[in-house]
């Protein structure tokens, strides 16, 4: 994510937390800043806690509580892997990407597809609905 995209999401997070009457304590702030600055998507709570262990904000319980709060506020997306581990990424308005889960290796590859996104917009128009968000997750293995 670009720095301006990160800043936009950080501002949005601050606004939504404030509107919900929630304070940005040290642990919550650390998780939010890590998510905003992290280059890759789909981090597990354990990965986040490990990255935060250098400070006092790396408690796994604090990470779970923060992720639950951010999910409820629509600031992060939760994707459940077949390995039983939930992974999170920021829900950045205007940025859409999808994921391929490799069932053989467990690897997750984000991808963008403008034709797929256009098709989803056409389906929404045909159904006369306003789509507020969507997730496309392809599961399979590499090769033909």
pLDDT in tens, 84-135: 788 898 887 767 788 888 888 877 888 889 999 999 999 999 999 998 778 7
Band of residue 5 on the pLDDT scale cut at 50, 70, 90: low
**Does residue 40 surpass a pLDDT of 80?**
no
**34 and 63 co-located in one domain:** yes
Could you tell me the residue range of the domain that residue 128 belongs to? 98-140
What angle (nearest 5°) sits at the alpha carbon of residue 21, between those of residues 17 and 135? Answer: 35
Tell me how many domains the chain contains: 2
The first and second tokens of residue 72, run together, are 């409820």
SS3 12: helix
- The yes-or-no verdict on residue 54 having pLDDT over 80 is no
Confidence of residue 27 (pLDDT cuts 50, 70, 90): confident
What's the pTM?
Answer: 0.76
- Residue ending a domain, choose from 57, 73, 90: 90
Specify whether 84 is located in the same domain as 118: no
Q: Are residues 73 and 25 in the same domain?
A: yes
CA atoms of 118 and 27, how far apart (whole Å):
39
Tokens of 50: 């490990």
């Amino acid at each position: 994510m670009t720095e301006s995209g990160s800043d936009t999401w950080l501002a949005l997070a601050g606004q939504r937390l404030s509107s919900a009457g929630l304070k940005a304590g040290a642990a919550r702030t650390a998780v939010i800043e890590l998510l905003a600055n992290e280059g890759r998507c789909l981090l597990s709570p354990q990965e986040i806690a490990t990255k935060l262990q250098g400070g006092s904000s790396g408690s796994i319980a604090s990470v779970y509580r923060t992720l639950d709060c951010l999910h409820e506020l629509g600031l992060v997306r939760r994707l459940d892997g077949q390995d039983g581990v939930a992974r999170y990424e920021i829900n950045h308005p205007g940025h859409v990407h999808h994921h391929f889960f490799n069932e053989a290796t467990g690897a997750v590859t984000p991808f963008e597809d403008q034709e797929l996104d256009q098709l989803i917009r056409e389906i929404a128009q045909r159904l006369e609905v306003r789509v507020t968000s969507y997730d496309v997750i392809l599961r399979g293995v590499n090769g033909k």
